């Protein structure tokens, strides 16, 4: 019981640290445009920054589907009781979707217009009620991707 309490304190401290870096909630849609197009849509909660953070993915009914966490030492994807370790978030997204997503650049676009990214077209807009939409389309390398984020107001 004492050990589980220590784990709870560690997780609370970790989440507090991440929340100070940044916190976003919303919906994400990823389309992979290949011979057999694939599409993923889910609600998410994102805390942290490009160096260290945690992304929780929820089903439409609100249950946790997966949690991805990353730090300079690598990335971990937790699905239920199963954990997979990766060298980076780019490796994790490559494994899951067939395409590495550039986490540092995409995160820069969450609160403001971020830097250009070779092979990508990225647009963002502030919507009524302080929400924000980001549309990123990867043209090269293949497969082409379309990523849309709709961020809830803070």
10-residue mean pLDDT profile of the chain (154 residues): values are 36 42 89 90 92 92 93 95 95 81 83 84 88 90 90 87
Whether 43 contacts 26, CB under 8 Å: yes
Question: Homologous superfamily of 2-151 in CATH?
Answer: Lipoprotein localisation LolA/LolB/LppX (2.50.20.10)
Query: 153: left (phi > 0), else alpha (psi -120 to 50), else beta?
Result: beta
Contacts of 79 (CB under 8 A, 6+ apart): 65, 66
Q: Give the per-residue pLDDT at 10.
A: 38
Q: Give the per-residue pLDDT at 18.
A: 40
Q: Give the per-residue pLDDT at 88.
A: 94
Q: Give the per-residue pLDDT at 130.
A: 80
Boundaries of every domain in the chain: 2-151
């Amino acid at each position: 019981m004492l050990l589980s309490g220590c784990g709870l304190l560690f997780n609370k401290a970790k989440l507090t640290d991440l929340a100070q870096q940044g916190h976003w909630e919303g919906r994400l849609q990823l389309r992979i445009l290949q011979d057999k197009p694939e599409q993923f849509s889910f609600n998410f909660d994102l805390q942290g920054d490009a160096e260290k953070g945690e992304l929780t993915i929820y089903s439409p009914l609100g249950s946790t589907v997966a949690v991805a966490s990353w730090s300079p030492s690598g990335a971990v994807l937790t699905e239920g009781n199963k954990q997979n370790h990766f060298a980076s978030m780019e490796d994790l997204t490559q494994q899951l979707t067939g395409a590495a997503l550039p986490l540092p650049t995409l995160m820069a676009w969450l609160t403001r217009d971020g830097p250009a990214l070779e092979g990508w077209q990225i647009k963002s807009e502030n919507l009524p009620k302080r929400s924000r939409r980001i549309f990123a389309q990867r043209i090269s390398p293949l497969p082409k991707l379309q990523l849309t984020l709709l961020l809830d107001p803070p």
